[in-house]
């Protein structure tokens, strides 16, 4: 009798448990089907979306194993997926160019800058300032530095202060990358002329006039 009652009890519980589980599964599936699903499309523009961002950069750049440049910038954005990959410096850039003895040949400072790696071209915009080894100062609003041709140039207004403190202005400029040999186009300038006393036309050693 004990065994028979135990079997019947067990079978009865199994029969009542199955419908409960089925109902729970049905309710769960209904609740899941009522959930709203939203699809968000993310647009990727390789020309406007950077692939890397670096901040507070102080970097030394070597060429053929020799340190040639020192770069200082607050923000460096790399657009590696653009049709023509480039680097953008939205908060400005400061570059020093060294000779083989690590002397500064020239320095460039710009409000914003673009570096096109394949072309080897740096474009500085805004307030662009350059100083060469001789202490000459150059200022313009747009400047290109072509490392392949080793030329620095602009077609904009440029203001130059020479080491003799002479001021020269022009529209258009071209120079070697050391800024030691350059041509200025449509030039004008101001030059300081020292005042000199006029020569005395009277010769004190001349014999007296007997007339």
Asked if residue 124 belongs to a domain, the reply is yes
Asked if residue 2 belongs to a domain, the reply is no
Between strands 188-190 and 167-176, the pairing is antiparallel
pLDDT of residue 16: 52
3-state percent breakdown (helix, strand, coil) of the chain, nearest 5: 15, 45, 40
The torsion defined by the Cα of 196, 197, 199 and 203, in degrees rounded to 10, comes to: -150
What CATH number has the domain bearing residue 172? 2.60.450.10
Tens of pLDDT, residues 92-141: 999 998 888 888 889 999 999 999 989 999 999 999 999 998 899 999 99
Asked if residue 17 belongs to a domain, the reply is no
In the block, tokens 């300038």 appear at: 189
pLDDT of residue 17: 53
DSSP H/E element including 8: helix 2-33
Asked if residue 149 belongs to a domain, the reply is yes
Report the alpha-carbon distance of residue 124 to residue 110 in Å, rounded.
6
For 68, 163, 179, 184, the CA distances from 167, given in Å and listed in that order, are: 30, 10, 16, 12
The answer to whether the beta carbons of residues 176 and 182 sit under 8 Å apart is yes
The answer to whether the beta carbons of residues 2 and 9 sit under 8 Å apart is no
User: What average pLDDT does range 76-96 have in this prediction?
Assistant: 94
| Counted domains in the chain | 1
- Reading the block at residue 94, the tokens are 């400061």
Range of the domain at 107: 52-190
Asked if residue 41 belongs to a domain, the reply is no
For 52, 149, 199, the CA distances from 133, given in Å and listed in that order, are: 34, 20, 40
Asked if residue 210 belongs to a domain, the reply is no
Of the pLDDT bands very low, low, confident and very high (cuts 50, 70, 90), residue 42 is low
pLDDT of residue 204: 43
pLDDT of residue 65: 79
Asked if residue 29 belongs to a domain, the reply is no
Burial class (CB in 10 A: 0-12, 13-18, 19+), 179: buried
Asked if residue 142 belongs to a domain, the reply is yes
Tens of pLDDT, residues 147-164: 899 999 999 999 999 989
The answer to whether the beta carbons of residues 74 and 56 sit under 8 Å apart is yes
What number of other Cβ atoms are within 10 A of residue 10's Cβ? 10
């Amino acid at each position: 009798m004990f065994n028979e009652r135990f079997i019947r009890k067990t079978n009865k519980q199994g029969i009542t448990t199955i419908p409960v589980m089925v109902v729970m599964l049905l309710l769960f599936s209904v609740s899941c089907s009522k959930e709203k699903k939203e699809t968000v499309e993310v647009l990727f523009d390789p020309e406007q979306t950077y692939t890397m961002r670096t901040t507070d950069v102080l970097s030394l750049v070597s060429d053929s194993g020799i340190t040639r440049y020192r770069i200082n910038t607050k923000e460096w954005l790399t657009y590696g997926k653009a049709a023509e990959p480039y680097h953008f410096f939205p908060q400005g850039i400061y570059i020093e160019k060294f000779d083989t003895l690590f002397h500064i040949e020239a320095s460039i400072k710009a409000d914003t800058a673009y570096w096109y790696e394949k072309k080897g071209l740096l474009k500085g915009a805004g307030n662009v300032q350059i100083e060469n080894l001789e202490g000459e100062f150059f200022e313009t609003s747009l400047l290109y530095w072509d490392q392949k041709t080793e030329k620095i140039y602009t077609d904009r207004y440029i203001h130059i202060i020479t080491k003799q403190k002479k001021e020269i202005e022009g529209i258009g400029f071209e120079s070697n990358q050391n800024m030691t040999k350059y041509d200025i186009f449509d030039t004008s300038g101001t030059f300081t002329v020292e005042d000199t006393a006029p020569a005395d036309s009277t010769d004190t050693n001349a014999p007296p006039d007997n007339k």
